[in-house]
Amino acid sequence: MNRIINGEVGEFYQWTDEEGNVMNVSDGGMIYVDGRYYWYGQKLRALPYAGEGRGGQTTVEGVVMYSSVDLYHWRYERVVLACSEDPDSLCFGPMRFERPKIVFNRKTGQYVLWCHYVKYPGDHGEQPGTAEAAVAVCDKVNGEYRLLKVCRPVDDRGLVRDSTVFQDIDGTAYFLYDRQVGQDRCLYIVKLTDDYLGFSGEYTRIEAAYWREAPCLVLYDGYYYMITSGLSGWAPNQAVYFRTGDLMGEWENMGDPCEDDLCGTTYGAQGTYIFRVENTDLCIFMAERHNTDDFEKCSYVWLPICFGADHTLKLTYRREWQQEDYR
């Protein structure tokens, strides 16, 4: 029987592809193209956390992609944004393409990938190259993406931490990120240019989302919802979600969306993305359990989002579930 299996809360349940190989697709996202879902993320290493390029939280391969027609059975596609062995390359590994997100630009016909970029050896910092945004493009969703540039939105003072990309129904795209200037950390939304390859100069600071990271957005019934994480490194913490009717306007703190989360840890996970199942109202919250002893064996948690008539949402943990029960 087809089921999405998350395992018990706190369990590193291993998702596998159709060849039986463990899926290694960290902090990624989802895009639907021509009848297939494409799930992509950073391929991490079978090592514990460590600095100076010795840790499993970095990659020497890059961003990988899987595809599926039903969200149950996954086929490995390829490395779509590859690391390089050239020390002069921006992609020289070990490094990080953290939280990659892909959107399709209908005007240019290009698939555009934005991520949080950290150069060799992959250690977060404040110096140029250690806290950036990066953009890559490709003409095919599952082709070889070409890295165009690394940069910082708003200004060069603001360090880039966790980020995502959101594409609105009118085709406008936005880069959202945890912007850090000293001890000041807050989520920002920056409108992308029409080609999605740069920043338009229009942005807003979400004052309600102070000291939050890992933004995951969805538009549902006229409201924008954003599920976020607190700042606790690799340790899971309590989620908080925000709501607004105007993406670039004021956001309202709606509290913890997780029902019966007795430990206050988002069921032992951290959000990475939200996507809508094609031709349905079902929205799925994608999250990840970070395995700091072996990053190759991080695990994934997918939960159906339940929206209320009062424009609220909630998450309820499901050890395993079927999409058909929530459509």
Which H or E run includes 189? strand 184-192
Task: State the average pLDDT over residues 54-68.
Answer: 98
What are the pLDDT digits (tens) for 247-295?
A: 999 999 999 999 999 999 999 999 999 999 999 999 999 999 999 999 9
Query: Rounded to an integer, what distance in angstroms lies between the CA atom of residue 123 and that of residue 50?
Result: 9
pLDDT for residue 173 is more than 70? yes
Span 166-182, average pLDDT: 98
Tell me what pLDDT residue 307 has: 98
Alpha carbon distance 43, 63 (integer Å): 6
- The continuous run of DSSP H or E covering 164 comes out as strand 159-167
d(CA 311, CA 327): 18
Q: What percent of the chain has pLDDT over 70?
A: 100
Q: Which amino acid is at 156?
A: D
Q: Are 63 and 134 in contact (CB under 8 A)?
A: no
pLDDT at site 141: 98
First-to-last alpha carbon distance for the chain, in angstroms, is: 17
* pLDDT score of 178: 98
Residue 111 CA to residue 104 CA, distance in Å, equals 4
298-308 pLDDT, tens digit each:
999 999 999 99
DSSP 59: B
Q: How much is the mean pLDDT over the chain?
A: 97
The CA–CA distances, whole Å, from 323 to 72, 282, 309 equal 10, 8, 21
Range list of H helices, the chain: none
Q: Using 50, 70 and 90 to split pLDDT, how confident is the model at 1?
A: low
- Contact status, residue 61 vs residue 83, Cβ threshold 8 Å: yes
**Each residue of 76-115: pLDDT tens digit?**
999 999 999 999 999 999 999 999 999 999 999 999 999 9
What percentage of residues in the chain have a pLDDT greater than 90? 99
Position 327 confidence tier, pLDDT thresholds 50, 70, 90: confident
Return the SS3 of 39: strand
Closest CA relative to residue 164, chosen from 249, 272, 260, 86? 272
Angle 274-11-316 from CA coordinates, rounded to 5°: 45
d(C-alpha 165, C-alpha 64), whole Å: 18
pLDDT at 68 over 70: yes
Provide the pLDDT confidence category of residue 70 given band limits of 50, 70 and 90: very high
